[in-house]
Amino acid sequence: MKISGWLFDIYPNKVNGLTLWLIGDDGQRYCLQHEFAVRFYAAGPSAQLRALWKFLEGREEPVKLSRTERRDIYMGKITVLACEVANPAAMRDLFQQASQAFPDLTYYDADIHLALRYAAVTGVFPLARCEVETLGNRVQSIQPIDTRWELDPIAPPMRTLSLEPDDDPSCRTPKGIIFQYERYSYRLDLEPARPVLVNLRAILERFDPDLILTNHGDTWLIPWLASKIKELGIPIPVNRDPGYEILTHKEHTYFSYGRIVYRGQQSQFFGRWHLDKQNTMLWSDYGLDGALEMARVTCLPVQEAARLSPGSGISAMQFVTAMQTGILIPWRKAQAEKPKTALELIRADMGGMVYQPTIGLHENVIGIDFVSMYPGIMVHFNISPEVQRSGIALEPSTDEPGIVPQTLEPLLKKRIAYKSALFDMPKWDDRREKYKARSSAEKWLLVTCFGYLGYKNARFGRIESHEAVTAYGREALLRAKEAAEKLGYEILHMYVDGIWVKKAAKPDADDIRKLLEDVADRTGLPIALDGMYRWVAFLPSQVSAKVPVANRYFGVFQDGSTKVRGIEARRRDTAPLLSKTQMGILEILAEASDVGAIRKVMPEVDRFIDSKVRALRDGRVPLEDLVMRQRLSRELEAYRTPSPAARAAQQLAGVGKTMRAGQSIRFIITRGKPGVHAWDLPTEVDRKSIDVQRYQALLYRAIGTVLDAVVPLEKPPDLFDLPARIEIPIKNDLMAVC
Amino acid sequence: MGRTLPTSTDLFLQEQESFGRFRRALRRSDQLALDDLFDSARLHLAATQYASHALPFEVMLLSMLLEEHKLVMRLREQFDIFSRRLP
């Protein structure tokens, strides 16, 4: 029989080969078996390889052994022992035995996800359209019809059941559960649990959804269901494949990029997808599209692709490239950093160029950005662990592209294609949201790719390549600076891949084109206009008014839209009251067509601020607008002087809700002790206890951040036209001391 | 953040802190002037980092000098304008 359709799910069969789930063009769901042998390789001294050969021959599991040549990324062609296991499910145990018995051998391709192997061999990846020739339920042959780089892939027709608890389980225990599918939507009480289970079973049997979409499903709903199924003994086909239990991954915390990260528990199904909105990347912005794109380009099954941790997406893609081009994937990375002299280290160990902006309000500002700078550098200059490059001449490499640029190039092209399509697309076009979602998912992969190049455990990472990327980045930025200065611009700020310049006279379209061309000429990298600003304010640090901070600014573009970075309005930890007030002020300021007109809108700003302050004093601000957030930086017991978040977490612990390091705590500031009220406590905060004065101080500070930059409170005597930073009246201070 | 070397901001803060005893013994007015000098070194941290000099404090001193010289240049220009205006 011939079936065409979409690959829906893929996992190792317990008995032999793989289980594939297909959504057919005829609307049927097919469960197919595909015989698929997997291989791992071992390299080392021949005596040891011979011993491994004997060892593997003696195992129960049949293994096909052969001596062959493959390419190690650093050493070139080497002789390896290929071990082919017919049953993918058995490979893990077998490999474990081998690696324990012969720990000194170098192993390759040992722990690669099955979906990736399948994609590399057959070209069929999750959600790919494919044609299958079958005999019974056995796959005879399979052919992909589309590729991962399709801009408008045809989406499979999907049936979705949505399950949501009626309350946030991290604060209060939910009482009911809301079912939604087709045109039905209703709520059932959680207790007694029997009707919930019976109902769910009926839906699963009759409606047979492909996707179970939940809120808090990973951490609460699915574990709750699983425990009830066990308790009441009602079997429910949550997995379409009856031979399987629900797959769960335990919660864990780890330390990454200077902070503690918390990953909750996960629950996944077989033959059906479970996606938890709370645990799906970019869900709040883009819904399902981002997750599906992630699965397509990384070749990982949807349930995993949606819950990716940084780095695993991009390494999945590198593995597929490696397998397709016959490069061995080391099981454990053996490459160590080469010794460097102290001076070499000082030269190499630098990040991107981050400038100190010129503090103050600037008119006629142009912002330009390198397009996907770091991935662009990797592709354009062929930066990959195995490629030798010297110097930073900013000339394209003539060597064969390495594994990193090979992996990135199609991804980068696809993202640029989406971005440029979006640029020309009218607002009403319904492809816009999809394109945005996909390009965001791709951006995320591209961003992590750079970090992963320098990660010590990345299989194709190497710190020197990572350093080379930042070195090229700094060089490109400095060349951009030189190009702009030559054209008579003043440099206001540079930030890794962006640069802000201004000119006394308002630049026109020709000026901007000339600038972009010159920069592109000098650097060889694509550059784009971030925008032409009516004005931009670069803000000083909160500690000293004379010290600039790299990423604290706001500005208004020519079209009246605003760009805000680093101030309270952008921070997730500040109370919404503060960000709403700041954004409100900015919106009013954005009505002014230029700096001179700001004065005219000031009365309106004053009225707006007045209304906000009054609302706070009169207790008319909604409670949720006062909620602050802070992350627990360590476990509760480890605090010596508990932070507000820790005190709030203690309150939660008091009512039996343990919070772990890395989780963020919501609270309201109150008067007296303990000074906070955890937002997720079952009792609501007493309005009278709220520390209005503290909130008022915070509010004034947030207002000051915006207004101080725009309207200097008192103008210094302009006699000598001194720059702002040397205004300090040393003489006056002397008088004060005397 | 997984770096082997301190950033130029860290270096700067270390250097500034190492002069803590010196600063403490200064008059209040001199303390403020000193802080101002350090602030001016701070304006060129990106360049300090890029220079990757083995003795960063030398670059910081040069940054302070740079800002002072800018001020001298600016004042001289203003002075010229004023002296031309005088009868």
| DSSP collapsed to 3 states, A272-299 | CEEEEHHHCCCHHHHCHHHHHHHHHHHC
CA A6 vs. chain centroid, Å, equals 26
Q: Name every residue in B having a CB less than 8 A away from some CB of A.
A: 1-5, 7, 27-29, 32-33, 36, 39-40, 42-46, 49-50, 52-54, 71, 74-75, 78
Distance CA A479, CA A492 (A): 15
pLDDT in tens, A88-101: 888 889 999 999 99
Q: What is the mean pLDDT of residues A100-108?
A: 93
At A307 the pLDDT is 87
Distant-in-sequence, close-in-space partners of A450: CB < 8 Å, separation ≥ 6: A374, A375, A378, A466, A469
Tell me which DSSP letter residue A210 carries: S
Can you tell me whether residue A328 is helix, strand or coil? coil
- Determine the average pLDDT of the residues in A381-406: 81
- Residue B3's pLDDT is 63
Tell whether the model's pLDDT for residue A730 goes beyond 50: no
Tell me the per-residue pLDDT of A603-627, one tens digit each, with 9 for 90 and over. Answer: 999 999 999 999 999 999 999 999 9
Residue pair A354/A550 in contact by the 8 Å Cβ criterion: yes
Look at A196-205, A249-258, A357-366, B65-74 and tell me which has the smallest mean pLDDT.
A249-258
Nearest-CA distance A372 → chain B (Å): 22
Is pLDDT of A118 > 80? yes
* pLDDT at residue A17 tops 90: no
What's the pLDDT tens digit per position in A517-569? 999 999 888 888 888 999 999 998 877 778 888 889 999 998 888 899 888 88
Pairing of strands A38-43, A138-144: unpaired
Neighbours of A40 (CB within 10 A): 25
Q: Which of B28, B31, B43, B72 to mutate to test the interface with A (most CBs of A within 10 A)?
A: B43
Q: Which of residues 231-290 of A touch B (CB under 8 A)?
A: 257-258
pLDDT value at residue A391: 64
**Any CB–CB contact under 8 A between A346 and chain B?**
yes
Cβ contact (<8 Å) for B46 and A343? no
CA A564, distance to chain mean position in Å, is: 20
Share of chain B above pLDDT 90, in %: 62
pLDDT score of A36: 92
Greater confidence (A488 vs A257) lies with A488
Nearest residue of chain B to residue A547 (CA atoms): B39
Q: Give the CATH class of A160-310.
A: alpha beta
Q: What pLDDT score does A718 carry?
A: 44
Chain A residues near residue B53 by CB distance under 8 angstroms: 346
CATH number assigned to the domain with residue range A623-689, chosen from the 4 options 3.40.30.10, 2.40.50.500, 3.40.1820.20, 3.40.190.10:
3.40.1820.20
CA distance B37 to chain A (A): 10
Fold of A360-566: Palm domain of DNA polymerase (3.90.1600)
Long-range contacts of A690-694 (CB under 8 A, 24+ apart): A690/A619, A690/A626, A692/A616, A692/A617, A692/A619, A694/A669
More confident of the two residues A89 and A388: A89
Give the 3-state secondary structure of residue A253: strand
The minimal CB distance from A546 to the residues B5, B7, B39 is found for B39
Asked if A307 and A295 count as a contact pair (C-beta separation under 8 A), the reply is no
Contacting residues of B for A454, CB less than 8 Å apart = 2
Mean pLDDT of chain A: 87
Chain A's closest residue to B75, CA to CA, is A720
Task: State the pLDDT at residue A637.
Answer: 84
A155 and chain B: CB distance < 8 Å anywhere?
no
Indicate the pLDDT class of residue A716, thresholds 50, 70 and 90: very low
Domain with CATH 3.40.1820.20 in chain A: 623-689
The two beta strands, A211-214 and A273-276, are: parallel
A735 touches chain B (CB under 8 A): no
A299: left (phi over 0), alpha (psi -120 to 50) or beta: left
Residue percentage of chain A with pLDDT more than 90: 49
Q: pLDDT tier at A712 (50, 70, 90 boundaries)?
A: low
Of residues A734 and A133, more confidently modeled: A133
Span A180-194, pLDDT tens digits: 998 899 999 988 889
Give yes or no for residue A354 having a pLDDT over 90. no
A454 and B54: CB-CB below 8 Å? Answer: no
Give the integer Cα–Cα distance in Å for A307 and A275: 9
Which tens digit of pLDDT belongs to each residue from A123-170? Answer: 999 999 999 999 989 999 999 999 999 999 998 999 999 999 988 887
Indicate the pLDDT class of residue A318, thresholds 50, 70 and 90: very high
Contacts of A376 (CB under 8 A, 6+ apart): A370, A412, A525, A526
Residue A405, preceding bond cis, omega within 30 degrees?
no
Answer yes or no: do B5 and A345 touch at CB < 8 A. yes
User: Could you tell me how many helices (H) and strands (E) chain A has, helices first?
Assistant: 20, 27
pLDDT reported for residue A505: 86
pLDDT range class, residue A448, cuts 50, 70, 90: confident
Locate CATH 3.30.420.10 in chain A. Answer: 160-310
- Band (pLDDT 50/70/90 cuts) for residue B73 is very high
Q: Quick check: pTM over 0.90?
A: no
Taking CB atoms and an 8 Å cutoff, what residues of chain B touch A720? 74-75, 78
Query: What is the pLDDT at residue A53?
Result: 93
End-to-end CA distance of chain B: 62
- Tens digit of pLDDT for each residue in A572-599? 788 999 999 999 999 999 988 888 888 8
What pLDDT score was predicted for residue A335? 66
In the block, residue with structure tokens 């700003």 = A605
Residue B67: predicted pLDDT: 94
Q: How much is the pLDDT for A490?
A: 93
Whether B43 and A544 lie within 8 Å, measured CB to CB: no
Contact between B40 and A730 using a beta-carbon 8 Å cutoff: no
Q: Number of A:B CB contacts under 8 A?
A: 62
CA–CA gap between residue A455 and residue A637 (Å, rounded): 31
Min Cα separation A499/chain B (Å): 14
CA distance B23 to B32: 9
**Given CB atoms, is A173 within the 8 Å cutoff of chain B?**
no
